[in-house]
Amino acid sequence: MSSPYKRLKLSLETPVPSDYEISRKQTPKHITEVAKESGIEDSEVEPYGAYKAKVKLDVLDRLADRKNGKYVLVAGITPTPLGEGKSTTTVGLAQALGAVLGKRAFANVRQPSMGPTFGVKGGAAGGGYSQVIPMDEFNMHLTGDIHAVSMANNLLAAALDTRMFHETRQTDDALWKRLCPVQKDGSRDIPRGLEPRTKKLGLDKKDPRDWTEEEISKFVRLDVDPKTVTWKRVLDLNDRSLREITINQAPTEKGLYRKTGFDISVASEVMAILALSNSLEDMRDRLGKIVVASSKAGEPITCEDLGCAGALAAIMKDAIKPNLMQTLEGTPVFVHAGPFANISIGASSIIADKMALKLAGTDSQNPEPGYVITEAGFDFTMGGERFLNIKCRNSGLAPDVIIIVATVRALKVHGDGAPVKANQPLPSEYTSEQLDMLKKGCANLQKHIENARQYGVDVIVAINQMSCDTANEHEVIRQAALEAGAVDAIVSNHWGKGGEGAKNLALGVIRCAHHEYPIQKQNAGEHFHYLYSVDSNSSIKEKIETIAKKMYNADAVEFSPKAQQKLEEYTKQGFTNLPICMAKTQYSLSHDPNWKGVPSGYTFPIRDIKASIGAGYLYALADKIQTIPGLATRCGFMNVEVNKKGEIEGLF
């Protein structure tokens, strides 16, 4: 069959060279060609150099009448620190569907932070023969979206601290005079950005000249309680020295010392908003709703109160357009948004998914649906749960297929194999057949499958093949998967062979998306549904308990006094109707990274609860989560150089 994409040929080598060598050897197509093949019109493309482009949101309007293509979520089992290959599977599957099988197929992935790029982590572009290329452009600035997030986040921080400063130095009258100066005709010039505040205070229908002193005071004085400030500054680097800092120490700041800190940019609520917005207007509204602190009276202070939501939207107006790149085999990839998996949803953007689903969608000219493959960070039970209960709730979309990526290695860990660590030789059980250990470990896979099945979506297990695996081991996994209700379990070697290596997996996905597995007939009555409701009378506490019990297999949840207090505060402030983003370790189904397999009979602890009101969720922390990583003694950056041709060397 004719493929929509000119396939870029792979010249496979054994052993598989480094990711960067593979990327460098391939000559990508010009991005305008990829766009055209993807059904994007010239006027909708904004190239950023030869291999990256932003795509205008106009596509969504133009294709509004199409029925969406098939939506495939790639999730995983509880991983080891080596990673089990979700990104690689996402990209490899798109190569198989698009370049090998000739279907319309999009891989939708997150933009990686540059912090870890210069730390110790590998690239986030997939790996081996399943990659997004050029991988250096993917891992560096891309088109500047994360920089825009940093700027927007930090403008809000500067606006808040400056306002607090000016309020301590000025009377109500002086603030009023400066914020809203008297015009020649005697009227007051209220800046556009503060109009929402006039509305919030019910002053918008009254001429400012008629405002009472009390009304003026209420308008000009936010009266922020410095102890309640939750908004931090960000940068996109692993800078541990900024975790906790004291600001305002210059003499010009008159002794208003305040403890605060920096997060990594991808942990910013602005990044979560970018991922969860459905349109530019939606993003603008969410930016306005960000809560940065409370007033001394306990009222939430928002970005809108500071009058800078419009400016934040202006900074982000290009960032909201999805970025187009391509796989190693020349199929399209959307790279858009990258909220930090540790405290946020760890998934790429809703807008990119919607755009890809329309481009892969059906109408009278395109009767056969294409595929959009996207990934949820961490394991299914954390990342997949957030994807379904938060991202899908915000988008209104639902996946047609859930893929759970498993490796023999990780399942042996869950069967009591010795711990595995990065940059250290693997213990012998990982290089020899160990069927009993593996069988035991498969309980972890089964729990993830069962968890996914709770949402009414069909599951395929992708066994990500590694060189030491045996056929018997694959069969053990396959049987366990089918037993737990997966429609299929398919071995895939996209890392070593690109799309060709994932062809069987792709055929399984097509079959599943078209409900052609016999078991799917039995499930025919099932429909996608969320795990918990946000509209009902269910409290924040009940939602958290539902997730902990149904997903993590906990018996009960224990809330710390701090968490209790937050429960009360958010309930009082009216933030109960929001989904919950759980922040816990990714290395166990429970909160304890050492508990492998399927922990049971335990109490899940909630240490603290925080709010991302603009993004639209509360997040509950089961542990102290580091929101800005550090650098090691030997860092990734020490290997990086630019050669005379201007090419980057030594990146991964």
Sites for a second copy among residues 424-463 (CB under 8 A) = none
Select the span of 50-58, 342-350, 474-482, 603-611 touching a second copy (CB under 8 A): 50-58
Q: Which residues contact 444 (CB under 8 A, 6 or more apart)?
A: 77, 78, 410, 411, 414, 589, 596, 597, 598
d(CA 293, CA 13) in angstroms, rounded, equals: 56
Residue with tokens 């052609």: 516
DSSP lists the bridge partners of residue 55 as: 45
Q: In the range 206-265, which residues lie near a second copy by CB under 8 A?
A: 233, 235-250, 252-253, 258-259, 261
Q: Which is nearer to a second copy, 194 or 557 (CB)?
A: 194
Alpha helices in 112-252 (DSSP H): 114-117, 135-139, 145-169, 172-179, 195-200, 213-220
CB nearer to a second copy: pick between 71 and 176: 176
Query: Given candidates 24, 147, 453, 511, which one binds a second copy under the rule CB under 8 A?
Result: 147
Region 377-406 residues binding a second copy, contact defined as CB under 8 A = none
**Class of residue 239 by CB neighbours under 10 A (exposed 0-12, middle 13-18, buried 19+):** middle
| Cβ at position 202, least distance to a second copy in Å | 20
Q: Which stretch binds a second copy (CB under 8 A): 314-322, 355-363, 561-569, 610-618?
A: 314-322
- Position among 29, 54, 386, 497 found at the interface with a second copy (CB under 8 A): 54
Does 159 interact with a second copy (rule: CB under 8 A)?
yes
Q: Given the complex with a second copy, which of 209 and 644 has the nearer CB atom? A: 644
Q: Which of 75, 291, 311, 481 binds a second copy (CB under 8 A)?
A: 311
Q: From the list 151, 335, 487, 490, which residue makes contact with a second copy (rule: CB under 8 A)?
A: 151
Min CB(288)–a second copy separation in Å: 11
The least distance separating a second copy from the CB of residue 155, rounded to whole angstroms, comes to 6
Question: What's the rounded Cα separation, in Å, for the pair 273 and 520?
Answer: 36
Concatenating the DSSP letter of every residue in 588-612 gives SSSS-TT--S---S-EEEE-EEEEE
Q: Give me the least distance between CB of 118 and a second copy, in Å please.
A: 6
- What lies within 8 Å, CB to CB, of 615 at 6+ separation is 269, 272, 273, 275, 276, 286, 344
Q: Residue 151 CB, nearest distance to a second copy (Å)? A: 6
Q: Which residue's CB is nearer to a second copy, number 255 or number 518?
A: 255
Q: Under 8 Å CB-to-CB from 548, ≥6 apart: which residues?
A: 554, 556, 557, 582, 604
Instruction: Say how many residues touch a second copy, by CB under 8 A.
Output: 90
Residue 169 neighbours by CB under 8 Å, 6+ apart: 254
> Which residue from 119, 619, 125 is spatially nearest to 338, judged by alpha carbons?
125
**199 in contact with a second copy (CB under 8 A):** no
Among 92, 310, 361, 616, binds a second copy (CB under 8 A): 310
3-state secondary structure of 331: coil
Q: State the burial class of residue 259 (Cβ atoms within 10 Å of its Cβ: 0-12, 13-18, 19+).
A: exposed
By the rule CB under 8 A, 285 interacts with a second copy = no
**Per CB under 8 A, 298 contacts a second copy:** no
Can residue 157 be called a binding residue for a second copy (CB under 8 A)? yes
Residue 492 binds to a second copy (criterion: CB under 8 A): no
Q: Of the ranges 40-48, 341-349, 511-519, 608-616, which one interacts with a second copy (CB under 8 A)?
A: 40-48
Position 308 contacts a second copy (CB under 8 A): yes
Considering only 315, 512, 578, 580, the residue that binds a second copy (CB under 8 A) is 315
Which one among 144, 226, 427, 485 touches a second copy, defined by CB under 8 A?
144
608 part of the interface to a second copy, by CB under 8 A: no
Q: Which stretch binds a second copy (CB under 8 A): 158-166, 500-508, 547-555, 569-577?
A: 158-166
46 binds a second copy (CB under 8 A): yes
Closest CA to 454 of 550, 382, 552: 550
Please identify, using beta-carbon distances, which residue of 36 and 511 lies nearer to a second copy: 36
We find the least distance from the C-beta atom of residue 322 to a second copy, in angstroms, to be 14
Burial label for 592, CB within 10 Å (0-12, 13-18, 19+), is middle
H or E segment and range at residue 263? strand 262-264
| 556-559 and 603-606 strand pairing | parallel
- How far is residue 156's CA from residue 152's CA, in Å, rounded to a whole number? 6
**Strand bridging mode 580-583 / 617-621:** parallel
Asked if 158 touches a second copy (CB under 8 A), the answer is yes
Pairwise CA distance, residues 341 & 245, whole Å: 24
| Closest approach of a second copy to the CB of residue 465, in Å | 26
- CB closer to a second copy, 74 vs 194: 194
**Contacts of a second copy in 165-184 (CB under 8 A):** 165-166, 170, 175, 178-181
Site for a second copy in 547-606 (CB under 8 A): none
In whole angstroms, the minimum distance from the beta carbon of 279 to a second copy comes to 10
